[in-house]
Structure 1
Amino acid sequence: MRTNGGTAAVMGGFRTWAVAGLAAALVVAGITGARAAPVQTEHTLSQLVAEGAAVPGQPLWVALDQKLQDGWHTYWINPGDSGLPTEVTWTLPPGWKAGPLDFPAPHRFTTGPLVNYGYEKATRVLVRLDVPADARPGGTVTLTAAANWLICADVCVPEDATLTLDVPVASSAAPDAAVAPLFAEARAALPVPSPYAASVSGGKTVITLRLAAPGLTADQVKDAYFFAENPDLVEAGAPQPVSFTKDGLVLTLKPTGRAKPGPVNGILEVTELVDGRPTTQALAIAIADGAGTPAASGGAAAGSAAAVLPLWQAVLFACLGGMVLNLMPCVFPVLSMKAMALVRHQGAHARVHGLVYTAGVLACFATIAAVLMALRAGGQEIGWGFQLQSPLVVAVLAYVMLLLGLSMSGVFTVGDRFMGAGQELTQGDGYAASFFTGVLASVVATPCTAPFMGAAVGYALLQPWYVALAVFLALGFGMALPFLALASSPWLLRHMPRPGAWMERLKQVLAFPLYGSAAWLVWVFAVQVGAIGMANILIGVVLVGFAAWLYGVTHYADGWRRRGGALGALVALVLAVTAVAAHDGGGDAAAAPGGATKVSGADGFETFSPATLDKLRADGRPVLVDFTAAWCITCLVNERVALSSDTVHQALKSRDVALLKGDWTNRDAEITRVLQAHGRSGVPLYLFYRPGQAEPDVWPQILTEAQVLDAVGSLPKRSASAE
């Protein structure tokens, strides 16, 4: 857009003032090489500023520092009712990577009925650059940023500039003291993570944002306003009435009607009266289960299917998923053990056993649902299988599997005095055996995620407690249904093999899957806590074996020998649990920032982080993200069956697919949020990002090699020069 002669004269004065002022500021500050030469455009003076020298393998922060002509403004990520955000395209040395732009908290500009979000006078946008580990100290690299922005007053002018910055590479460096105030001010202008939990609800006519901050009252808060990152979420020009309840602040927003279901990100600006003076704080809000952006930061996908499931479909999916759980290897040994006992029963007796088994399953699933919902209500970021993120729970399950296996192998038995407990809890003929077999089968099923159940459980965790309970009970009923059908069918019972000596032999054979389950759980524990924890749980396994043997050889003795054997066995079990209890919070296992387990690059996968994903996508590479856990049987089977073959590796390599792995073995809130954003409550989750595609493809929970090859094969092959 051209200006007239009067405006040109004004602009000439602006250029002279801006350049002279900036030069004077540099001299006063004594800055000698921390900044590049500024570039003057019609209404803006722009330059790049580095926080210090580049150090191989460490991040370097760079600021896009802009001074604006008085009366003019630029725009935030969401410009509001009109405008365009600032964009930067980087040209960097080989191996360097640029992260997303970190914008300061915006201001509101009102023009008639329109409201815009942006900045006036000056703005500093921060960018993290990842310096490759093979950068050579002693040299200098040139960073080039092609920036474009829209600057407006009564009229709007698109501007652009190519900015360059020469940065020295050093083996070690501290931040440049000369530019430290600039970066301190830039970081102070960024929104801070909200100390309060936030939630969003609503529909086509109204969106309600709730901030769980009981300490905020109408007497304290002068104003509150929500800047949504997604311009399709909220009408920027609409009023945002604020009210208060005993639970905190409530903001009423007007939806545009264009947003898809998904996470909500933005900034809640709260102006409080402190000693009679208004003080404004910008709180960064990230809500995984809202009705917001199609794509959240770090690859949180658009609109989760679970968020829009009707209740009847969620219940149906849960029931089907529960039925499929019976086919998972973690459930088979326990279920087989109980199914074998049915050959002793007929008619009404067998049906009662089926009902009692079902009651045990439902009781366990109801308990899991209650604990899970209570923890989530308290702010915990957890999902399906959360209990197996506790090393102590994993260790105790390993001990239980070992004891069951030893009992089935004949190392020890429990006498009639403990009917309803001990052996009767899982493998006897009484009703207590059926009930606790249902409980045990449900507990060991939690590492597994079957088809259908992912969407159903994801839906349940976003609903009120009574809806969530209904879905979890449907999941339990589906799991119990095959056994209940067997116990209730006289025809099926008649066609089962007759009791005989083969039953004892089969019971001994079924002990070995239980030993395998115990060994697998020991491995999971070692992954969670490291080598020291591995030694402790192996000591515990020896103590459990000793306790079983001691109880077995003294059980039928008389007097003090039987009591002494029982007491010795109990002491050994207590010592076994004590050996692993200290590692419940994690041990020496390598952890990535945020609690995620570091992933070895030996299989081609790097550790998942939102920043890494954003950088890879910005480079135009296809990305496969595998969210997994060591205790997830489904995940391990998929990795072995569908992701580990040479054919798959070659297909991924030939199309330059970047591989990221999010390990949820230990609790990680960041991974939990990504799972929730895709309507999942647990792993596995496979996200496949195609270049130029805003939303990822979500692969099935049960993978085959053919499915992977078909998805990857649709990408163009990498050129020979890229090889």
Structure 2
Amino acid sequence: MLRKLSPLAFLLTAFGAFSLTPVSAPALAAESAPVPSAHDIATLVTDRDAVRPGETLHVGLRLQLKPGWHTYWLNAGDAGEAPTLKTTASGALSGQSDAIAFPTPVRISEGGLMSYAYTGDVLLPQSLKLAGSAGTVTLKAHAEWLVCASTCVPESGDFSLDLPASSDAQGKTAPNSSAQGPLFVHAAQSSPVPSPFAAAVTSDGLLSLSGQGLSMASVKRAWFMPSVTGVIDQVAPQKLDVSDGKVTLKLNWIDAAHRPATLEGIVVLQDEAGQQTPLWITTQSAAPAAAATSMPAAGQVPVMAPEAHKVQGALWKMLIFAFLGGLILNLMPCVFPVLAMKAFSLARLGGSHRHEQIQSALAYTTGVMGSFAALGVAMIVLRSVGSAAGWGFQFQSPIFVIGVAWLLVMMALNLLGVFEVTLGRIGQDVTPRHGVWGDMLTGLLAVIVATPCTAPFMGAAIAAALSGPAWAGMALFLAMGFGLASPYVAIATIPFLARHMPRPGAWMAVLKQALAFPLLGTSVWLFWVACVQRGAMILPVGLGGAVALGLAAWLFGTTQRQAMIRGATMPVIIGRVIALLALVLAGVSLTRIDDATADARPIGMTGELGVVAYSPERLASLRDQGKPVFIDMTAAWCITCMVNERVALQSAQVKQAFEEKNITYMKGDWTNRDETISAFLRDHGRDGVPLYVYYAPHKDGTILPQILTASGVLDTIK
């Protein structure tokens, strides 16, 4: 069926600017095995099913997006990220693909943001020049793309496709009769073509196209989509003016002082019948020459920090979420031991001068935000190299878990008075309870023990931090850190609150020792986490190291007291040498954990009665059968997960409701690294546990809050 040509399209065809079928009529096309997700189905497709040397093969990423979901153009707009596709050919013929030839996107304006996107069934094509001898070719491709609806989910896929040598010696191709070939024709028809009209832009943002054939009869609407973001206000209306031979659009520069010399992108011209003609334009600025000296050279793509405005509108919302998540994190049980120590610090500061209180608050905040920044850098870097690291990823290492448990044991012994940390002269106390460095260390410890917990609002903020540009991700992590530190900052710096802090007294000695026991209790939990990860064989190493550290702490404390009375005598020196050897022994045993437990069998968390271990295949099978499924993504090191299970999921009412409704309780154990669980989390816009999803029969999943109640679970499954 021939497509009806608008007058403008007919004119462009006459100019020879484009053809409706710029790719040759393809032979039988081929398609790879699909990479499905909850939001789309991705495949690698080609425009023919056989190849020959010297020809150009058209390949493409095909995304069949589910209703309500979209992916992005070369310039995603105010939020989002462009897809990437890298294809290589190996075998008798070889080659590497060019950049994606992006079709013309649609505009999606929502919430004060503009996105340039694709919906439905979309093909992102590229060309691949083949060289070598006749024979079978294997295509390997890796693609990454972002799909968004109310939330955004980063996705990726690896594809493989084998194409045999063509048997058509004369190089002729038969008309295509498969479902894939027309995709390339449609993509070519919807792609922008080089504009035959002269394009220019003035210093005040007036974009103009001029040439024969542009008139009120052929252009009724028009809009411009730049190839990079951060240049114009993409949401602002673009006032159209059409006269014979000239079309102008009024653009709003984001920064009038740093206008680009070259503006590239798509101008879409629409006639009265609604037919659209997309033109690729490259303009030259009409600004005065004096102003042009600070602009990029003609022909260059302007480097305008394209991500500077990419998430500008959404960033403020995510920053608020990040701050609230960090603030609520103070109420999570995992942070309690450190908050108990901060309570002691506040009590100690009750009788101190104002500047000491402010100094302590600033030091603690620096420790918290610096630790969040370091954690953010680690996660962003790991994501950039393809790792599936999520929130709390460091607790998936038993070495880290045992190391933190030992740190808490040593801090507890310090609070019990077994030893004192000294700097300079003996007796100068610089433990985490005193001094600038002590407050900063407490901030570091707060972040370490807080990462197993995920507070409300944090899930969306962390997902945004890891899917957007690095600078925005760092801002979100710092906002979470400030939220965690803000209660202590408020108490120590607001005069009214500071005046009502308790005064120091003899009661503080008792409080100091009492606070050691929450730390010891937390260390017991961490030893259990290590057992879940590597089995019971890890306990001799973990507890043996704790005993060695206890011996080192006792010897160090004993020699401290002796040195204060008698000076550095030989027994003092010998005691400290033994203490040092005990520390070295503990450190060596920590590095040998992997070897000592290599053959150990993890205990795991999915062996309970009535619990089914998560697998994508099992979930798909149950949903195909129309059975309700409740998904619990958890980890042994996630205290929020443990509390939710005890309070809500293991309550008698919830268990009874699950049994009555024949709901399959499926649990994913993320205590150790598991790529299938990481993929499920990413598919649901999360980068950490807990995650709870309920699938009613033949319906999409419903995500539950991160803090569960029995009544909330019952309301969801009803």
**In structure 1, C-alpha distance between the alignment counterparts of 2:652 and 2:517, rounded to whole Å:** 32
Per the alignment, residue 391 of structure 2 pairs with: 384
The verdict on how the C-alpha distance between 1:371 and 1:425 changes in structure 2, with shifts beyond 3 A counting, is farther
Question: For the structure 1 residues 284 and 624, does the alpha-carbon distance in structure 2 shift closer, same or farther, using more than 3 Å as the test?
Answer: farther
2:84 corresponds in structure 1 to 210
Q: CA contact under 8 A between 1:424 and 1:432: conserved in structure 2? A: yes
Contact 2:101 2:126 in 1 (8 A): no
Aligned partner of 1:478 in structure 2 is 483
TM-score with structure 1 length normalisation? 0.61
Contact 2:153 2:684 in 1 (8 A): no
State, as a whole percentage, how many aligned pairs show the same letter. Answer: 40
CA distance in 1 between partners of 2:652 and 2:383 (Å): 41
Question: Where in structure 2 are the equivalents of 1:331-410 lying within 5 Å?
Answer: 331-341=335-345, 342-410=349-417
2:605–2:636: 8 Å Cα contact kept in structure 1?
no
- Give the 3-state SS of the residue equivalent to 1:606 in structure 2: strand
Any idea what SS the aligned residue of 1:625 has? strand
Shift of residue 438, structure 1, vs aligned partner = 1.0
Aligned length: 498
Q: 1:212 to 1:361 in 2, by over 3 A?
A: farther
- Distance change (3 Å), C-alpha of 1:547 and 1:214: farther
Matching of residue 443 in structure 1 with residue 433 in structure 2: no
Give 2:680's aligned residue. 674
Deviations 1:571-623 (A, max 9, x none): 212222322323358744547xxxxx854342422221111111111111111
User: Quick check: 1:664 aligned with 2:670?
Assistant: yes
Structure 1 residues 600 and 473: alpha-carbon distance in aligned structure 2, compared to 1, 3 A threshold: closer
What whole-Å deviation, never above 9, does each CA across 1:212-261 have from its counterpart, x for those lacking one? 67999xx9537x6xxxxxxxxxxxxxxxxx42xxxxxx453555779999
Equivalence map 1:34-183=2 (5 Å): 108=47
1:252 aligns with 2:99: no
CA distance, structure 2, for counterparts of residue 264 and residue 479 of structure 1: 44
Aligned to 1:652: 658
Answering whether residue 560 of structure 2 is matched by residue 555 of structure 1, we say yes
The answer as to whether partners of 2:624 and 2:698 remain within 8 angstroms in 1 is no
Equivalent-residue separation in structure 1 for 2:333 and 2:81 (angstroms)? 45
Is 2:132 the partner of 1:275? Answer: yes
**Counterparts in 2 of 1:214 and 1:291: CA distance versus 1, 3 Å:** farther
Unaligned runs of 5+ in 1: 1-70, 79-84, 86-101, 111-116, 119-197, 225-241, 244-249, 301-305, 592-596, 715-723
The CA deviation at 1:425 is: 4.2
> How far 1:367 moved relative to its partner?
0.8
2:592 matched to 1:582?
yes
Report SS of the residue matched to 1:548: helix
Name the aligned partner's letter for residue 527 of structure 2: V
**Which residue does the alignment assign to 2:95?**
221
Residues 322, 453 of structure 1: 8 Å contact kept? yes
1:431 aligned partner, one-letter code: V
> Residue 620 of structure 2 aligns with which residue?
614
Map of 2:301 onto structure 1: none
Distance 1:77 1:394, change over 3 A: closer
User: Secondary structure of the residue that 2:593 maps to in structure 1?
Assistant: coil
Distance in 1, matches of 2:668 and 2:649, equals: 15
Distance (Å, rounded) in 1 between the aligned partners of 2:393 and 2:704: 22
Counterparts of 2:452 and 2:154, CA distance in 1 = 28
Give TM-score scaled by structure 2 length: 0.62
Partner secondary structure for residue 320 of structure 2:
helix
Kept in 2, the 8 Å contact 1:626–1:685? The answer is yes
1:306-317 equivalences in 2 (<5 Å): 310-317=314-321
Does the aligned pair in 2 maintain the 1:449–1:682 contact within 8 Å? Answer: yes
Task: Give 3-state SS (helix, strand or coil) of 1:252's partner.
Answer: coil
> What SS is found at the alignment partner of 1:371?
helix
Cα distance in 2, alignment partners of residues 277 and 602 from structure 1: 58
Classify 1:337/1:492 alpha carbon distance in 2 versus 1 (closer, same or farther; 3 Å): same
| Cα distance in structure 1, aligned partners of 2:30 and 2:463 | 40
Would you say 1:427 and 2:433 are equivalent positions?
yes
Q: 1:618 to 1:285 in 2, by over 3 A?
A: farther
Aligned partners of 1:486 and 1:493 also within 8 Å: yes
Aligned residues of 2:367 and 2:444 also touching (Cα < 8 A): yes
Output the amino acid matched with 1:472.
Answer: F
- Given that 1:555 and 1:566 are in contact with CA atoms closer than 8 Å, whether structure 2 keeps it comes out as no
Matched, 1:414 2:421: yes
Give, in whole Å, the separation in 1 of the partners of 2:494 and 2:473: 31
Question: SS at 2:650's partner residue?
Answer: coil
1:624 aligned to which of 630, 637, 642? 630
Question: Any idea what SS the aligned residue of 2:561 has?
Answer: coil
Q: What secondary structure is seen at the aligned counterpart in 2 of 1:506?
A: helix
How far does residue 269 in structure 1 lie from its aligned partner after superposition? Answer: 9.2
Say if 2:422 and 2:430, in contact at 8 Å, map to a contact too.
no
CA 477–569 in structure 1, closer or farther in 2 if over 3 Å, else same: same
Which residue in 2 is equivalent to 1:566? 576
C-alpha distance after superposition, 1:265-324 (max 9, x if no partner): 9999985635244754354757474459999999x9xxxxx9998100110011111111
SS of the residue corresponding to residue 686 of structure 1 reads strand
Deviation, 1:530, is 1.2
Q: Match for residue 512 of structure 1? A: 517
Output the aligned Cα RMSD.
Answer: 4.3
Task: Letter of the 2:618 partner, please give it.
Answer: T
Q: What is the alpha-carbon distance in structure 1 between the residues aligned to residue 493 and residue 120 of structure 2?
A: 46
